Structure 1
Amino acid sequence: MLIAVFVALWAYTDTVSALSRDEIGSGHWTIALFVSFAPWIALAVGGISLALVNQKLEPLVKASKEVKPLLDLSKSPFEEFMGVPVSTVDLPFAYALATSKEILISRFAVDHLSKDELDAVLWHELCHVREKHFALKRLARLILALSPILAASRALVQEIEILVEIAADNFALKRVSSPTLTLARSLFTS
């Protein structure tokens, strides 16, 4: 931003000196005057863009700051799976989530899955952690938040959601059988 202000001030002083050298009746001074406004317009567009981005993102940041402490209070350590901490959350339904550093799974899912099915879910979620799918999905949602009227933004979010799930399933299928993964998935889709 400091560079933009410097460029705008330089353009202004350059225009003033150009205007003082030329006669007002010549065509050159109008071009110089027009060009001198370009950095100011760019600065205004940049400032407005930053304000709009901040306005769109503030509710997301606020919600995240409110939810994280509540989530931290409600989770309890369960085990470590392939070097990644796994915590349970008391929820009355099947739920599993991979954040950037850990795997969260509902107590309901732990209680209703067999050992093999639980392993299938953990392998699936481990892929999300290792491949940083959480960050990729967050970036896609950020793009959607900044440009919600563009169909491409909505399509990007949908495609990324589908592709990371396919990648995680393929990762899990290298370690567990297809019927086991299908049975585990059925608890989450019913």
Structure 2
Amino acid sequence: MNHHTLPPLGLVLCTGFLLPWLLVRARWAQQVPRLALAVWVASGAVFAGAGALLPAQLLLPSPTGHRFSDALFTLEFPPAHRLLELSPREYLALGVAAAVLAVPVAGFARALLRARRRRTRHAETLRLVGRYDAGLGATVLDHARPAVYCLPGRSRRVVVSSGALTTLTTPQLDAALAHERAHISGRHHLLVAAAESFAAVFPYLPLARHGGSAVPLLLEMAADDRALRRCSRDALATALYALASGRAPREAFAAGGPSAALRMRRILAPHSAGHPVLWGLLTVAAAGLAAAPLIIACCSFPN
């Protein structure tokens, strides 16, 4: 057996099983949502890469697998003409790795296209039934229930219901609009599509299952933090309270919604769990240490 399967196996186990278990129990994740999002994204990318490398190393003999591992870890790839000199077995290993990696990539592309079609249809409807307010920089929709949401991507726009205009004060409305514009400028729809597609491709994987619910919530918290640069905590919290019952299309980001109560408590409650960035780095380090024995075992075998 090619012992160079041990490092990708360790990465698959750590990013696919251990790190999600640590993240969903970490208090610091909601205090620094952007760091937590970075860990989720990095975990998904490493899992996909290691998952593609694992079957390739299983097909390769140990000396070839050693050269392959060295090229990946040192980022010193052979020149293009050397690719024409590979053996059939090596071509098969590369093909299998590419095929495995193509599965989540294709799922991500499909989720993006599907969400884009839904947003385009909704934007066309808004052009018919809504009216643009230049003062707000948003589309106003006649509806009694207070709601503020945005359509990201090419159809980007912020939508405000007439009920929100009559319910929210000026500071509250400004806070809700800042929250939605943070979603648009941060291109948060890309991460939502990645989380949804990953959960669809790997439905029983803890990384995908927990990430599918954690990433959207962390994105809402990240948008809250961005909005707090321009508004007060009281204005944003009371706006979330007023908009909690509001609804939005599936392809949109809403300022209220089912997570509003949790985010209100987060905005108004002081943080007392120590330095969150330090705790986040310790979580990543703990997962990395779990993979160390397999990597050391790999290096200890002769080639």
TM-score normalised by length of structure 1: 0.60
Which among 87, 90, 93 is matched to residue 139 of structure 2?
A: 87
Distance in 2 (CA, whole Å) between partners of 1:132 and 1:66 is 17
Q: Which residue of 1 aligns with 2:54?
A: none
Q: Structure 1: which 5+ residue stretches go unaligned?
A: 1-34
Deviations 1:4-54 (A, max 9, x none): xxxxxxxxxxxxxxxxxxxxxxxxxxxxxxx96996898799889979997
Question: Going by fraction, where is strand more abundant, 1 or 2?
Answer: 1
Which among 229, 241, 245 is matched to residue 174 of structure 1?
A: 229
Q: Which residue of 2 aligns with 1:9?
A: none
Q: Which range is displaced more, 64-73 or 161-170?
A: 64-73
Distance in 1 (CA, whole Å) between partners of 2:212 and 2:106 is 21
CA change 1:123–1:44 in 2 (3 A) is: closer
The structure showing larger relative contact order (alpha-carbon pairs under 8 Å, at least 6 residues apart) is 2
Q: Is the 8 A contact 2:172 2:236 kept in 1?
A: yes
TM-score normalised by length of structure 2: 0.41
Q: Is the 8 A contact 2:108 2:197 kept in 1?
A: no
Q: Which residue of 1 aligns with 2:215?
A: 160
The structure number with the bigger radius of gyration is 1
Distance in 1 (CA, whole Å) between partners of 2:200 and 2:120 is 20
Q: Is 1:103 aligned to residue 103 of structure 2?
A: no
Distance in 2 (CA, whole Å) between partners of 1:166 and 1:109 is 21
Distance in 2 (CA, whole Å) between partners of 1:127 and 1:55 is 26
Amino acid across the alignment from 1:89: L
Which among 107, 114, 119 is matched to residue 169 of structure 2?
A: 114
Q: Is the 8 A contact 1:53 1:146 kept in 2?
A: no
CA change 1:174–1:49 in 2 (3 A) is: closer
Q: CA deviation at 1:120?
A: 0.6
Which among 127, 140, 154 is matched to residue 195 of structure 2?
A: 140
Q: Is 1:183 aligned to residue 235 of structure 2?
A: no
Distance in 2 (CA, whole Å) between partners of 1:165 and 1:174 is 15
Distance in 2 (CA, whole Å) between partners of 1:189 and 1:66 is 23
Amino acid across the alignment from 2:167: H
Distance in 1 (CA, whole Å) between partners of 2:99 and 2:106 is 11
Q: CA deviation at 1:144?
A: 1.9
Q: Structure 2: which 5+ residue stretches go unaligned?
A: 1-86, 246-303
Q: Is the 8 A contact 1:93 1:109 kept in 2?
A: yes
Pairwise CA RMSD: 3.3
CA change 1:92–1:150 in 2 (3 A) is: farther
Number of residue pairs matched by the alignment: 153
Q: Is the 8 A contact 1:57 1:145 kept in 2?
A: no
The percentage of counterpart residues that share the same residue type is 22
